[in-house]
């Protein structure tokens, strides 16, 4: 360890976020100081704010990532219940994921052909 790294380590109070420069990420701090990320103290925790309060757009994106879709920008499809012959469903499922899209594509091609 270099002398400057030791000096920086000594200057920092262990267990606090002191020594982190404004705008510096914790990764950058760790590289500069050569230490693990310091543990949070009670004082640090008293300044903490809910993530939803500080970054609502990130929280919204994380919630969507958990399976909650946002509204379609331009709804183009309609959900319907449809009964199909077993052999038709088996044929499309045999092709793997995306079988419902392939059924839609086949029906769309039929509609285009009949419209001509």
Tens-place pLDDT, residues 29-82: 777 877 666 778 898 889 888 988 989 998 888 877 666 566 777 777 888 899
- State residue 45 phi and psi, 5-degree precision: -65, -30
Higher pLDDT, 7 or 32: 32
The per-residue DSSP string of 61-85 comes to: HHHHHTT-PPPPSS-----------
| Per-residue pLDDT at 8 exceeds 80 | no
Are the C-beta atoms of residues 27 and 36 closer than 8 Å to each other? no
Q: Tell me the pLDDT band of 98, cut-offs 50, 70 and 90.
A: very high
- Give the helix, strand, coil percentages of the chain, each rounded to 5: 55, 0, 45
How far CA 38 is from CA of 32, 58, 60, 115, in Å, comes to 13, 25, 29, 68
If you average pLDDT over each of 16-25, 35-44, 45-54, 94-103, which comes out highest?
94-103
| Per-residue pLDDT at 91 exceeds 80 | yes
Neighbouring residues of 21: CB distance < 8 A, sequence distance ≥ 6? 29
| Per-residue pLDDT at 2 exceeds 70 | no
Residue 7 has a pLDDT of 45
């Amino acid at each position: 360890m270099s002398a400057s790294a030791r000096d920086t380590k000594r200057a920092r109070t262990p267990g606090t976020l002191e020594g982190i420069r404004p705008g510096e990420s914790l990764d950058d701090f760790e590289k500069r100081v050569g230490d693990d990320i310091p543990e949070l103290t009670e004082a640090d925790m008293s300044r903490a704010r809910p993530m939803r309060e500080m970054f609502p757009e990130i929280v919204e994106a994380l919630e969507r990532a958990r399976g909650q879709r946002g509204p379609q920008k331009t709804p183009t499809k309609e959900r319907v219940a449809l009964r199909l012959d077993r052999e038709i469903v088996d044929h499309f499922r045999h092709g793997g994921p995306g079988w419902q899209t392939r059924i839609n594509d086949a029906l769309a091609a039929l509609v285009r052909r009949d419209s001509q």
